[in-house]
Chain A
Protein backbone atom coordinates (compact mmCIF):
# COMPACT_ATOMS: atom_id res chain seq x y z
CA UNK A 1 0.00 0.00 0.00
CA UNK A 2 2.77 2.40 0.98
CA UNK A 3 4.67 1.62 -2.21
CA UNK A 4 1.57 2.27 -4.30
CA UNK A 5 1.10 5.65 -2.66
CA UNK A 6 4.74 6.58 -3.21
CA UNK A 7 4.54 5.64 -6.89
CA UNK A 8 1.25 7.51 -7.23
CA UNK A 9 2.79 10.68 -5.83
CA UNK A 10 5.86 10.19 -8.01
CA UNK A 11 3.76 9.89 -11.17
CA UNK A 12 1.69 12.91 -10.17
CA UNK A 13 4.85 14.95 -9.64
CA UNK A 14 6.18 13.80 -13.01
CA UNK A 15 2.94 14.82 -14.73
CA UNK A 16 3.08 18.24 -13.13
CA UNK A 17 6.78 18.69 -13.91
CA UNK A 18 6.31 17.68 -17.55
CA UNK A 19 3.23 19.82 -18.08
CA UNK A 20 4.57 22.91 -16.32
CA UNK A 21 7.88 22.73 -18.21
CA UNK A 22 5.95 22.52 -21.51
CA UNK A 23 3.74 25.48 -20.59
CA UNK A 24 6.76 27.51 -19.51
CA UNK A 25 8.74 26.69 -22.64
CA UNK A 26 5.77 27.53 -24.85
CA UNK A 27 5.37 30.90 -23.14
CA UNK A 28 2.05 30.22 -21.45
CA UNK A 29 3.66 30.66 -18.05
CA UNK A 30 5.81 33.66 -17.33
CA UNK A 31 6.74 36.32 -19.82
CA UNK A 32 7.32 35.36 -23.39
CA UNK A 33 7.40 36.76 -26.87
CA UNK A 34 6.72 35.57 -30.37
CA UNK A 35 10.46 35.18 -30.89
CA UNK A 36 11.14 32.98 -27.86
CA UNK A 37 12.73 30.29 -30.03
CA UNK A 38 14.19 32.67 -32.54
CA UNK A 39 16.72 31.20 -34.89
CA UNK A 40 17.39 34.59 -36.48
CA UNK A 41 18.84 37.62 -34.76
CA UNK A 42 19.50 40.67 -36.91
CA UNK A 43 20.94 43.39 -34.68
CA UNK A 44 18.57 42.55 -31.86
CA UNK A 45 15.52 41.85 -34.03
CA UNK A 46 14.70 38.18 -33.53
CA UNK A 47 12.56 35.89 -35.65
CA UNK A 48 11.78 32.28 -36.42
CA UNK A 49 11.30 31.67 -40.15
CA UNK A 50 9.16 28.62 -39.43
CA UNK A 51 6.37 30.74 -37.90
CA UNK A 52 3.05 29.77 -39.45
CA UNK A 53 4.53 26.85 -41.37
CA UNK A 54 3.61 23.21 -40.90
CA UNK A 55 7.35 22.54 -40.47
CA UNK A 56 7.43 24.57 -37.25
CA UNK A 57 8.67 22.70 -34.18
CA UNK A 58 6.24 21.84 -31.41
CA UNK A 59 7.78 24.60 -29.28
CA UNK A 60 7.48 27.23 -32.00
CA UNK A 61 3.92 26.15 -32.79
CA UNK A 62 2.88 26.42 -29.14
CA UNK A 63 4.62 29.76 -28.65
CA UNK A 64 3.06 31.22 -31.81
CA UNK A 65 -0.37 30.05 -30.64
CA UNK A 66 0.16 31.97 -27.40
CA UNK A 67 2.00 35.06 -28.61
CA UNK A 68 1.27 35.37 -32.32
CA UNK A 69 -1.88 33.46 -33.16
CA UNK A 70 -2.85 33.60 -36.84
CA UNK A 71 0.62 34.63 -37.97
CA UNK A 72 1.31 34.14 -41.66
CA UNK A 73 3.97 31.92 -43.21
CA UNK A 74 7.17 33.66 -44.30
CA UNK A 75 6.32 33.78 -48.00
CA UNK A 76 3.55 36.27 -47.17
CA UNK A 77 4.92 37.97 -44.05
CA UNK A 78 7.91 37.81 -41.75
CA UNK A 79 7.87 38.99 -38.17
CA UNK A 80 10.80 40.25 -36.10
CA UNK A 81 10.48 41.07 -32.41
CA UNK A 82 12.75 43.28 -30.37
CA UNK A 83 12.71 43.27 -26.56
CA UNK A 84 15.79 45.37 -25.78
CA UNK A 85 17.40 48.66 -26.74
CA UNK A 86 20.74 48.90 -28.52
CA UNK A 87 22.63 48.37 -25.23
CA UNK A 88 20.71 45.21 -24.42
CA UNK A 89 18.49 46.67 -21.68
CA UNK A 90 14.76 45.83 -21.66
CA UNK A 91 12.35 48.33 -23.19
CA UNK A 92 10.49 50.20 -20.44
CA UNK A 93 7.54 52.57 -20.44
CA UNK A 94 9.33 55.11 -18.22
CA UNK A 95 12.16 55.52 -20.76
CA UNK A 96 12.31 57.49 -24.00
CA UNK A 97 13.88 55.95 -27.08
CA UNK A 98 14.80 57.07 -30.55
CA UNK A 99 13.77 54.50 -33.16
CA UNK A 100 15.48 54.95 -36.51
CA UNK A 101 15.37 52.96 -39.71
CA UNK A 102 15.02 53.11 -43.45
CA UNK A 103 13.32 51.46 -46.44
CA UNK A 104 12.50 47.76 -46.39
CA UNK A 105 12.46 45.48 -49.40
CA UNK A 106 8.81 44.49 -49.02
CA UNK A 107 5.37 45.51 -50.27
CA UNK A 108 4.60 47.01 -46.87
CA UNK A 109 6.13 47.12 -43.39
CA UNK A 110 5.15 48.28 -39.91
CA UNK A 111 6.53 48.46 -36.38
CA UNK A 112 4.01 47.97 -33.56
CA UNK A 113 4.42 48.24 -29.79
CA UNK A 114 3.01 45.47 -27.55
CA UNK A 115 2.97 45.01 -23.79
CA UNK A 116 4.31 41.96 -21.92
CA UNK A 117 1.02 40.14 -22.52
CA UNK A 118 1.38 40.49 -26.29
CA UNK A 119 -1.45 43.04 -26.30
CA UNK A 120 -1.68 46.57 -27.57
CA UNK A 121 -1.09 48.66 -24.42
CA UNK A 122 -4.28 50.02 -22.95
CA UNK A 123 -4.12 53.68 -23.92
CA UNK A 124 -6.12 55.87 -26.27
CA UNK A 125 -3.22 57.65 -27.94
CA UNK A 126 -3.79 55.98 -31.35
CA UNK A 127 -0.02 55.96 -31.85
CA UNK A 128 0.86 52.29 -31.42
CA UNK A 129 2.54 51.74 -34.75
CA UNK A 130 4.39 53.38 -37.58
CA UNK A 131 4.33 51.94 -41.06
CA UNK A 132 5.44 52.43 -44.62
CA UNK A 133 2.36 54.47 -45.43
CA UNK A 134 3.11 56.99 -42.67
CA UNK A 135 6.92 57.39 -42.86
CA UNK A 136 7.42 56.33 -46.47
CA UNK A 137 9.57 53.55 -47.86
CA UNK A 138 12.23 55.42 -49.78
CA UNK A 139 14.39 57.19 -47.21
CA UNK A 140 15.65 57.05 -43.62
CA UNK A 141 13.29 58.02 -40.80
CA UNK A 142 13.27 58.45 -37.03
CA UNK A 143 10.50 58.17 -34.44
CA UNK A 144 10.22 58.69 -30.70
CA UNK A 145 9.05 55.95 -28.34
CA UNK A 146 7.78 57.53 -25.13
CA UNK A 147 4.75 57.60 -22.82
CA UNK A 148 3.95 61.22 -23.75
CA UNK A 149 3.77 62.77 -27.20
CA UNK A 150 6.93 64.60 -28.31
CA UNK A 151 6.70 68.15 -29.67
CA UNK A 152 7.21 66.95 -33.22
CA UNK A 153 8.01 63.94 -35.36
CA UNK A 154 6.67 60.42 -35.53
CA UNK A 155 5.62 58.87 -32.23
CA UNK A 156 5.06 55.41 -30.79
CA UNK A 157 3.20 55.64 -27.50
CA UNK A 158 4.43 53.40 -24.67
CA UNK A 159 1.90 54.75 -22.17
CA UNK A 160 0.52 51.92 -19.99
CA UNK A 161 2.88 49.46 -21.70
CA UNK A 162 5.14 48.62 -18.73
CA UNK A 163 7.91 46.45 -20.11
CA UNK A 164 7.21 46.17 -23.82
CA UNK A 165 8.50 44.88 -27.12
CA UNK A 166 8.37 45.93 -30.75
CA UNK A 167 7.25 43.79 -33.68
CA UNK A 168 8.51 44.54 -37.17
CA UNK A 169 6.24 43.12 -39.86
CA UNK A 170 7.33 42.81 -43.48
CA UNK A 171 4.45 41.89 -45.79
CA UNK A 172 5.33 40.24 -49.09
CA UNK A 173 9.04 40.49 -48.38
CA UNK A 174 11.47 40.20 -51.26
CA UNK A 175 12.96 36.74 -51.68
CA UNK A 176 16.38 38.16 -50.81
CA UNK A 177 15.11 39.32 -47.42
CA UNK A 178 13.69 35.87 -46.66
CA UNK A 179 16.87 34.10 -47.75
CA UNK A 180 19.46 36.53 -46.41
CA UNK A 181 17.92 38.68 -43.68
CA UNK A 182 21.31 39.33 -42.04
CA UNK A 183 22.31 41.41 -45.03
CA UNK A 184 19.02 42.45 -46.60
CA UNK A 185 16.89 43.49 -43.60
CA UNK A 186 17.23 47.18 -42.67
CA UNK A 187 17.19 46.52 -38.91
CA UNK A 188 15.94 49.67 -37.13
CA UNK A 189 18.00 50.94 -34.21
CA UNK A 190 16.56 51.60 -30.75
CA UNK A 191 18.61 54.18 -28.83
CA UNK A 192 17.67 55.02 -25.26
CA UNK A 193 17.49 58.79 -24.71
CA UNK A 194 16.75 58.73 -20.98
CA UNK A 195 14.53 57.31 -18.26
CA UNK A 196 12.18 58.82 -15.72
CA UNK A 197 11.81 57.66 -12.14
CA UNK A 198 10.35 54.20 -11.61
CA UNK A 199 6.63 54.36 -10.88
Chain B
Protein backbone atom coordinates (compact mmCIF):
# COMPACT_ATOMS: atom_id res chain seq x y z
CA UNK B 1 0.00 0.00 0.00
CA UNK B 2 2.75 2.41 1.03
CA UNK B 3 4.49 1.67 -2.28
CA UNK B 4 1.58 3.27 -4.14
CA UNK B 5 1.20 6.39 -2.04
CA UNK B 6 4.34 8.16 -3.25
CA UNK B 7 3.67 7.64 -6.98
CA UNK B 8 0.02 8.57 -6.49
CA UNK B 9 1.00 11.77 -4.71
CA UNK B 10 3.50 12.62 -7.44
CA UNK B 11 0.83 12.03 -10.09
CA UNK B 12 -1.72 14.26 -8.35
CA UNK B 13 0.75 17.09 -7.65
CA UNK B 14 2.16 17.11 -11.20
CA UNK B 15 -1.34 16.88 -12.73
CA UNK B 16 -2.61 19.82 -10.66
CA UNK B 17 0.48 21.88 -11.50
CA UNK B 18 0.10 21.09 -15.21
CA UNK B 19 -3.61 21.90 -15.05
CA UNK B 20 -3.12 25.38 -13.64
CA UNK B 21 -0.02 26.10 -15.73
CA UNK B 22 -2.02 25.32 -18.86
CA UNK B 23 -4.97 27.33 -17.64
CA UNK B 24 -2.70 30.28 -16.95
CA UNK B 25 -1.11 30.03 -20.40
CA UNK B 26 -4.35 29.83 -22.42
CA UNK B 27 -5.44 33.52 -22.45
CA UNK B 28 -1.98 34.85 -23.23
CA UNK B 29 -1.45 32.16 -25.86
CA UNK B 30 -4.74 32.87 -27.62
CA UNK B 31 -4.26 36.64 -27.43
CA UNK B 32 -0.72 36.34 -28.78
CA UNK B 33 -1.84 34.08 -31.61
CA UNK B 34 -4.71 36.44 -32.45
CA UNK B 35 -2.39 39.46 -32.56
CA UNK B 36 0.10 37.57 -34.71
CA UNK B 37 -2.68 36.55 -37.09
CA UNK B 38 -3.78 40.18 -37.31
CA UNK B 39 -0.23 41.21 -38.14
CA UNK B 40 -0.07 38.66 -40.94
CA UNK B 41 -3.22 40.16 -42.43
CA UNK B 42 -1.48 43.51 -42.71
CA UNK B 43 -2.25 45.25 -39.43
CA UNK B 44 0.64 47.36 -38.22
CA UNK B 45 1.35 48.54 -34.70
CA UNK B 46 0.15 51.93 -33.51
CA UNK B 47 -2.34 52.54 -36.27
CA UNK B 48 -6.07 51.95 -36.40
CA UNK B 49 -7.38 49.66 -39.12
CA UNK B 50 -11.10 49.44 -39.78
CA UNK B 51 -12.12 45.81 -40.23
CA UNK B 52 -14.52 44.89 -43.03
CA UNK B 53 -18.15 44.42 -41.98
CA UNK B 54 -18.37 41.27 -39.86
CA UNK B 55 -19.80 38.48 -41.99
CA UNK B 56 -19.29 34.70 -42.01
CA UNK B 57 -16.76 35.24 -44.79
CA UNK B 58 -14.75 38.03 -43.10
CA UNK B 59 -14.81 37.06 -39.41
CA UNK B 60 -11.33 36.94 -37.88
CA UNK B 61 -12.15 36.51 -34.18
CA UNK B 62 -14.77 34.40 -32.43
CA UNK B 63 -18.27 35.79 -31.93
CA UNK B 64 -18.02 39.04 -33.87
CA UNK B 65 -21.19 41.10 -33.90
CA UNK B 66 -22.42 41.74 -37.45
CA UNK B 67 -24.02 44.95 -36.13
CA UNK B 68 -20.79 46.57 -34.99
CA UNK B 69 -17.88 48.06 -36.90
CA UNK B 70 -14.50 47.33 -35.35
CA UNK B 71 -11.35 49.43 -35.69
CA UNK B 72 -8.23 47.75 -34.29
CA UNK B 73 -4.91 49.13 -33.10
CA UNK B 74 -2.19 46.77 -31.89
CA UNK B 75 0.18 48.31 -29.37
CA UNK B 76 3.67 47.44 -28.21
CA UNK B 77 4.73 50.18 -25.86
CA UNK B 78 8.34 51.04 -25.01
CA UNK B 79 9.00 50.61 -21.28
CA UNK B 80 8.50 54.33 -20.68
CA UNK B 81 6.22 54.98 -23.62
CA UNK B 82 2.77 56.39 -24.13
CA UNK B 83 0.22 56.24 -26.89
CA UNK B 84 -2.29 58.88 -27.89
CA UNK B 85 -5.60 57.39 -28.94
CA UNK B 86 -8.26 59.43 -30.68
CA UNK B 87 -11.62 58.30 -32.05
CA UNK B 88 -13.43 60.28 -34.68
CA UNK B 89 -16.93 61.49 -33.81
CA UNK B 90 -19.89 59.21 -34.42
CA UNK B 91 -23.54 59.95 -33.89
CA UNK B 92 -24.45 56.61 -32.29
CA UNK B 93 -22.96 54.03 -29.94
CA UNK B 94 -19.16 54.13 -29.95
CA UNK B 95 -16.51 53.14 -27.44
CA UNK B 96 -12.76 52.64 -27.15
CA UNK B 97 -11.81 49.49 -25.27
CA UNK B 98 -8.33 48.49 -24.15
CA UNK B 99 -7.17 44.87 -23.78
CA UNK B 100 -3.93 43.66 -22.25
CA UNK B 101 -1.90 40.70 -23.45
CA UNK B 102 -4.00 38.33 -21.31
CA UNK B 103 -7.37 39.42 -22.78
CA UNK B 104 -8.38 41.61 -19.82
CA UNK B 105 -10.56 44.57 -20.78
CA UNK B 106 -8.71 46.96 -18.47
CA UNK B 107 -10.46 50.13 -19.61
CA UNK B 108 -13.32 51.29 -21.78
CA UNK B 109 -13.87 54.91 -22.73
CA UNK B 110 -17.20 56.06 -24.07
CA UNK B 111 -16.73 58.12 -27.19
CA UNK B 112 -18.10 61.62 -26.77
CA UNK B 113 -18.28 63.75 -23.67
CA UNK B 114 -19.91 61.75 -20.89
CA UNK B 115 -20.70 59.03 -23.37
CA UNK B 116 -22.95 61.25 -25.47
CA UNK B 117 -22.79 60.36 -29.14
CA UNK B 118 -21.68 62.91 -31.69
CA UNK B 119 -18.25 63.92 -30.49
CA UNK B 120 -14.88 62.24 -30.56
CA UNK B 121 -12.64 61.09 -27.76
CA UNK B 122 -9.02 61.63 -26.87
CA UNK B 123 -7.15 59.27 -24.51
CA UNK B 124 -3.54 58.63 -23.53
CA UNK B 125 -2.40 55.05 -22.85
CA UNK B 126 0.62 54.78 -20.57
CA UNK B 127 3.12 51.92 -20.34
CA UNK B 128 3.03 49.97 -17.05
CA UNK B 129 4.43 52.12 -14.24
CA UNK B 130 4.68 55.29 -16.30
CA UNK B 131 3.42 58.46 -14.73
CA UNK B 132 0.91 60.70 -16.48
CA UNK B 133 2.21 62.82 -19.31
CA UNK B 134 1.79 66.56 -19.68
CA UNK B 135 0.51 67.48 -23.12
CA UNK B 136 -0.41 70.94 -24.32
CA UNK B 137 -4.15 71.26 -24.72
CA UNK B 138 -4.88 67.71 -23.61
CA UNK B 139 -7.37 67.18 -20.78
CA UNK B 140 -8.65 63.68 -21.52
CA UNK B 141 -8.22 60.52 -19.45
CA UNK B 142 -4.84 58.82 -19.08
CA UNK B 143 -4.96 55.05 -18.64
CA UNK B 144 -2.12 52.87 -17.41
CA UNK B 145 -1.79 49.57 -19.27
CA UNK B 146 -1.09 46.41 -17.23
CA UNK B 147 1.12 45.09 -20.04
CA UNK B 148 3.24 46.67 -22.75
CA UNK B 149 1.52 44.67 -25.48
CA UNK B 150 -2.17 44.52 -26.23
CA UNK B 151 -4.81 45.90 -28.51
CA UNK B 152 -7.34 48.67 -28.69
CA UNK B 153 -10.77 48.37 -30.27
CA UNK B 154 -13.12 51.10 -31.35
CA UNK B 155 -16.62 49.67 -31.60
CA UNK B 156 -19.26 51.63 -33.48
CA UNK B 157 -22.87 50.57 -33.95
CA UNK B 158 -23.35 49.97 -37.68
CA UNK B 159 -26.08 47.44 -38.47
CA UNK B 160 -26.52 48.60 -42.08
CA UNK B 161 -24.21 49.27 -45.00
CA UNK B 162 -25.15 52.96 -44.81
CA UNK B 163 -24.07 53.02 -41.14
CA UNK B 164 -20.83 51.25 -42.03
CA UNK B 165 -20.18 53.82 -44.74
CA UNK B 166 -20.53 56.56 -42.11
CA UNK B 167 -18.00 54.69 -39.96
CA UNK B 168 -15.61 54.57 -42.90
CA UNK B 169 -15.87 58.34 -43.19
CA UNK B 170 -15.30 59.11 -39.52
CA UNK B 171 -12.65 56.44 -38.96
CA UNK B 172 -10.20 58.52 -41.00
CA UNK B 173 -10.00 60.72 -37.88
CA UNK B 174 -9.01 57.79 -35.65
CA UNK B 175 -5.48 58.03 -34.30
CA UNK B 176 -3.26 55.60 -32.42
CA UNK B 177 0.24 57.05 -32.28
CA UNK B 178 3.26 56.76 -29.98
CA UNK B 179 4.12 59.97 -28.19
CA UNK B 180 7.70 61.00 -28.65
CA UNK B 181 9.99 61.80 -25.74
Contact = CB atoms under 8 A, between A and B. Distances in A.
Interface of A: 6-7, 10-11, 13-19, 21-23, 25-26, 28, 34, 52-54, 56, 58-59, 61-62, 64-73, 75-76, 107-108, 110, 112, 114, 117-124, 126, 128-129, 131, 133-134, 167, 169, 171-172
A10 B115 CA distance: 57
B103 to A, nearest CB: 5
A23 B66 contact: no
Interface size, B (range): 35 or more
Contacts of A171: 93, 157
27 contacts: A14-B14, A14-B18, A15-B14, A17-B11, A18-B22, A19-B18, A22-B22, A54-B106, A61-B26, A61-B27, A61-B103, A62-B26, A65-B27, A68-B62, A72-B108, A75-B108, A76-B108, A76-B110, A107-B93, A112-B67, A117-B62, A119-B56, A119-B62, A120-B54, A120-B56, A133-B157, A133-B159
The binding surface of chain B is classed by DSSP as mixed
B26 A22 contact: yes
A134 B115 CA distance: 23
A137 to B, nearest CB: 13
Nearest to A134: B159
B113 interface: no
B113 to A, nearest CB: 15
A62 B27 contact: yes
Given A22-B26, A54-B104, A61-B27, A17 B95 contact: no
Interface string B37-81: 000000000000000001111010111111100000000000000
B15 interface: yes
Contacts of A121: 56
A174 to B, nearest CB: 13
Contacts of A53: 104-105
A14 B15 contact: yes
B19 A73 contact: no
Nearest to A58: B23
Given A64-B103, A69-B31, A129 B59 contact: no
Contact of A108 (B16, B59, B93): B93
A198 to B, nearest CB: 23
A11 B14 contact: yes
B131 interface: no
